[in-house]
Structure 1
Amino acid sequence: MLNRKTKYLLGQTTFHIVVILLGFLMLYPILWMVSNSFKTNAEIFGSSSLIPKSLSLENYIRGWKFNNTITFTTFFKNSFYYTILSTFGAVLASSLVAYGFARVPFRGRSFWYACMFLTMMIPYQVVMVPQFIIFHKIGWINSFKPLIVPQFAGLPFFIFLMVQFIRQIPYELDDSAKIDGCNRFMIFTKILFPLIKPAVITSTIFSFYWRWDDFLGPLLFLNKPKLFTVSLALRMFSDPQTSTDWSAIFAMGTLSLLPVLIIFLIFQKYIVQGLATTGLKG
């Protein structure tokens, strides 16, 4: 019979082995892509090893040059421009709308909040065609306006997230600020907004991820290569008429992961804090 300490050590060892195996399975596609970014096309399909035969940066140099007319410098600039402005607009607008739903009494507030909540269930494909028709008629196609301007109306998920945070903050803070002469805007900017920092940062991270990885939106509204984002540029490497430069695709795909990886490593604690405390009452 095993004693209690032995059972505990055996259980912990089994748990850590399972977690390590699951972690490796989750990371394997990324490790495989990074490994292939250093391999030749022949080696990619001829070897299943994660260790490349050499660590040459030739694939990165060739991939960055793209077609020598437009380089990945342009694509990364476009992606950062689209991502940063969209994220700023989505987070700013969502925080203002959330403050209105959580603190400003108005007729039909519950009804409109429910309508906003229901829009989270509508897939983008439902509104894709109407949006394209509208933006085409006002001449916004082949610009970043259709991708950026709608974000300044807020996103339902972010609004919901911030509403839960604001509802945890006691109303007494608002009353004290009113006594000191603050109006609603001052209460929001000086009192509430700093207190919902975890929700704001969580929304910022999610928005950055979604916009950086967005493929369908740029594909729908951008037709000029000089406006393409990184996601669209990676697709241009694939050429069914000739041979596809897979090693360059993997090299640029690896570089495209760096911004989101850096953001995650810096702000991961806020993601956990923002999601873990949502819906809790203080």
Structure 2
Amino acid sequence: MDTKRKKFIKKIIQHVLMIIFTLIMLYPLAWMVMSSFKQSSDVFVDAHTLIPREWAFHNFTEGWQGFGGITFTTFFRNSFVITIIATIGSVISSTFIAYGFARIKFTGKKLWFVLMMLTLMLPYEMVMIPQYVMFSGFGWIDTYLPLILPTFFGVPFFIFLIMQFIRTIPTELDQAAKIDGCNTFSIFFRIIVPLVVPAMMTAAIFSFYWRWDDFMGPLIYLVTPEKYPVSLALKLFSDPSAVTNWGAMFAMTTVSIAPVFIIFFIFQRYIVDGISTSGLKS
């Protein structure tokens, strides 16, 4: 009885600690959401409280009006265009490359794989200037090409993730397909792709989040405000020469994270499946 009681008390303590840590981690998000309903002048005056003294629902309508006649409808459309196309490109290209590394034998395979993995260790600041010079020479500045086109040549993290998943698939399936007359592409499309859907969905979710949240890329390559995504448009609320509308800024920030939450909660099971099995090998 004492042992059961100790286990019961231990579980209670664990749950209490988890609840406390969860509340601590969620507090900044809750503060941002509740600040979107506060008057702009009360955001930092009542920063210690979550509940607004006066609910300002007009923050959302004011924020959605945007700047200079450009509404957030345009900014959201730009974000979806960049994010969706880049996500499709990164997942498809990474799956092709991962299949090559996992199943196809070719000269210099280990060398190319090592070089690909080394790119994961390069900080973005190290390649930022060379990339800008290269894309500027191509005449791609103030276009979406620098933000989208590179994803069609594979993303190293996704390649490694999907490749590890492919390695869990028995090679006997490939051999059986070859006996039935399938070539390399048939094996890829008919056998490999249907089985690696969890890993592909995991890559798609990560890609969607990274591209939607990307600030540095659009800041470097985009000049025309009409082409700004949401991540860059939110910066326009902060104006050192005028009074910043904090309520509207927090309102649009709250709206901007909604797509990420929706995607995550709909496809979260694929994240668990994709990551939990990608490290296993048959």
1:8 maps to: 7
**1:54 positional shift:** 3.9
Give the C-alpha shift of residue 6 in structure 1: 1.4
| Cα distance in 1, alignment partners of residues 118 and 138 from structure 2 | 28
**Conserved? CA contact 2:165–2:196, under 8 Å:** yes
Structure 2 partner of 1:32: 31
Task: State TM-score, norm by structure 2.
Answer: 0.97
- For 2:155 and 2:67, the matched residues in 1 are separated by 37
Structure-2 separation of matches of 1:207 and 1:201: 10
Helix, strand or coil: the match of 2:257? Answer: helix
Partner of 1:203: 203
Distance 1:105 1:271 in 2: 29
Q: Mind listing any 5+ residue stretches in structure 2 that lack a counterpart?
A: none
The code of the aligned residue for 1:102 comes to A
Counterpart in the other structure of 1:165: 165
Residue 53 of structure 1: how far off its partner (Å): 2.8
Is the CA contact (8 Å cut-off) linking 2:59 and 2:247 kept in structure 1?
Answer: yes
What is the Cα deviation at residue 55 of structure 1? 3.7
Q: Distance in 2 between matches of 1:6 and 1:55?
A: 47
Report deviation, 1:245: 0.8
Aligned residue number for residue 217 of structure 2 = 217
Normalising by the residue count of structure 1, what TM-score does the alignment of the two structures yield? 0.97
Where structure 1 has 5 or more consecutive residues not aligned to the other structure, the ranges are none
Q: Cα deviations across residues 141-180 of structure 1 (Å, max 9, x unaligned)? A: 1110111000000100000001101111111111111111
Greater mean alpha carbon deviation, residues 268-277 or residues 249-258: 268-277
Q: Alpha carbon RMSD of aligned pairs, Å? A: 1.0
Secondary structure at the counterpart of residue 168 of structure 1: coil
Match of residue 76 from structure 1: 76
Q: Distance in 2 between matches of 1:198 and 1:27?
A: 28
Residue equivalent to 1:50: 50
Matches within 5 A, 1:184-263: 184-263=184-263
Say whether the 8 Å CA contact 2:40–2:248 is kept in structure 1. no
Give the distance between the partners of 1:181 and 1:278, measured in 2 at CA: 29
CA distance in structure 2 between the partners assigned to 1:13 and 1:54 by the alignment: 38
Find the aligned partners of 1:55 and 1:73 in 2 and give their Cα distance: 24
How many equivalent residue pairs? 281
Partner residue in 1 for 2:110: 110
- CA offset digits 1:218-255 (Å, max 9, x no partner): 00000100000001100010000111111111000000
SS at match of 2:167: helix
Letter in 1 for 2:18: V
Letter of the aligned partner of 2:278 in structure 1?
T
SS in 2 for 1:208: helix
| Deviant stretches of 4+, over 3 Å | none
Name the CA distance, whole Å, in 2 between partners of 1:71 and 1:249.
13
Residue 42 of structure 1: how far off its partner (Å): 2.0
CA contact (8 A) 2:39 2:55 kept: no
Q: What is the distance in 2 between the residues matched to 1:227 and 1:200?
A: 29
- What amino acid does structure 2 have at the position aligned with 1:35? M
More off after superposition, 259-268 vs 3-12:
3-12
Percent identity, please.
Answer: 52
Matches within 5 A, 1:91-106: 91-106=91-106
User: What is the aligned partner in structure 2 of residue 272 from structure 1?
Assistant: 272
Aligned-partner Cα distance in 2 for 1:85–1:54: 41
* Pairs within 5 Å for 1:58-69: 58-67=58-67, 69=69
How far residue 68 of structure 1 moved from its aligned partner, in angstroms, is: 5.3
One-letter amino acid of the counterpart of residue 85, structure 2: L
Q: Which residue of 2 aligns with 1:155?
A: 155
